[in-house]
Amino acid sequence: MERIRERLRKLKHSREPLPPPPLPCLPDERPRPLTAAPCAPAATANSLFFQRVPPEIRRRILVEAFGERTLHLDVRLEHPLRKTRASGKNGINSRAPRHANVQLFHRDLRDSKQPREWTWWSSVCHRTFPSWNYYLPPPGCGLFEDPANDTCRRASGGAVHYCESYPGTMPSKCFIGALPWLLACRQAYIEGIDVLYATNRLHIAHAGILINLPRLLTPGRLHMIRDVELLWSLCLSSSGADREWTTGVEEDQFRDVNDRLVMLSHIPRALPNLQYLHLSLTDAKWAWEPMPDLCGQELYDATEMIIRSIDTMVLMQLAQLRECRISLPTTLYMTRKQMEKNEDIIWARKATNELEALWRTIDLTATSTQPPAGRRNNIEGYWILHGEQEMEKPVITEAW
């Protein structure tokens, strides 16, 4: 009987969920520098590429190769892949290849009996057409361009927008392709790493990644980053993906809406030289419960509280910022547009491609804090866009 009890006790403990492993952070004390030092001229003396091609031409070549595009920066807590050679129901090849092999993150291909581990994943964002220019000001930003509508990370569901329109073969054309050049030599690494971080726009899908970014990247890399689009969940206790990423890490204690807004101060701490920011707020329907009990004015005031927190962040800390866009979910954006312009959302904008945007001028007198002396801000306002779609076009039926 004692043996049976002991086996039952071990079986019970084996079924208990294990605590998540620590983040793959950089060590506090590094045995060697992670940033390559400039190489001596003699190191590239026999290289025709570095000797005959001018630096500005070399940089332009690297930009065309893996620069000036939107890149996904993601790390996930996932179970390891199943160890099987079969190509049937549970095999690796049972699902059609998708964008950047994202189908490998489907739960059917993961071994849930094994403990979860942190897995890096990155790719070129293919939610827009190849010829789309993300430097265009509004109305250059359409429906699918909003970060909240990105589908590159989804392991199941529909195909990624415009992925097949890009040249190349799947899934290699979905990856960045910078690693072979960075490993070529020291001079190639020095020139390529600057293009990789300074010329690309990073898509960060969770607030937890940005908060822990100083622990994942060196300060030199953080100073290189100029453009970022960021998804920011207003409620960590929701059922969204932001909760899955932050399970068991430091951010798990921030569940209230006010706490989530206070966490916006991590943006300038992690990205001190940020020049472009597209902040897309999500999970508003879980932030204030119950949402239907809030009237228009109360919901507008709650939205204004969020906007003023962003104003303070833009004024006080993001001194290098030149362009800012804030995307609000349908519930918050619709209420704000009705209160300010007495107009409803243009529900037919899928066909007309007309932008849903409101301009907000930063009011210095409305904030309790002022920019430090000698600090000049480069922007006077920003666009408020319609981001996450929480509801579809209302259907009006005639009364009989």
Query: Quick one: what percent of the chain has pLDDT higher than 90?
Result: 20
Q: pLDDT band for 319, please (50, 70, 90 cuts).
A: confident
Cis bond leading into 329, ω under 30°? no
Cis bond leading into 394, ω under 30°? no
- Both tokens of 377, joined, read 């801000």
Q: Is the pLDDT of residue 241 over 50?
A: no
pTM: 0.83
pLDDT at position 160: 62
Q: pLDDT band for 17, please (50, 70, 90 cuts).
A: low
β strands within 47-113, DSSP E = 70-78
pLDDT at position 239: 42
* 281 beta partners: 232
Q: Is the pLDDT of residue 196 over 80?
A: yes
Burial 344-363 (b: 16+ CB within 10 A, else e): ebeeeeeeeeebbbbebebe
Q: How far apart are CA 327 and CA 291, in angstroms?
A: 19
Query: Quick one: what percent of the chain has pLDDT higher than 70?
Result: 70
pLDDT at position 275: 93
For the chain, domain boundaries: 50-78+115-386
Q: Is the pLDDT of residue 98 over 50?
A: yes
At 334-387, the pLDDT tens digits run 889 988 888 888 766 554 556 688 999 887 665 555 555 545 567 888 889 888
At 122-173, the pLDDT tens digits run 999 988 878 777 666 565 555 567 888 888 888 765 556 678 888 888 888 9
Cis bond leading into 171, ω under 30°? yes
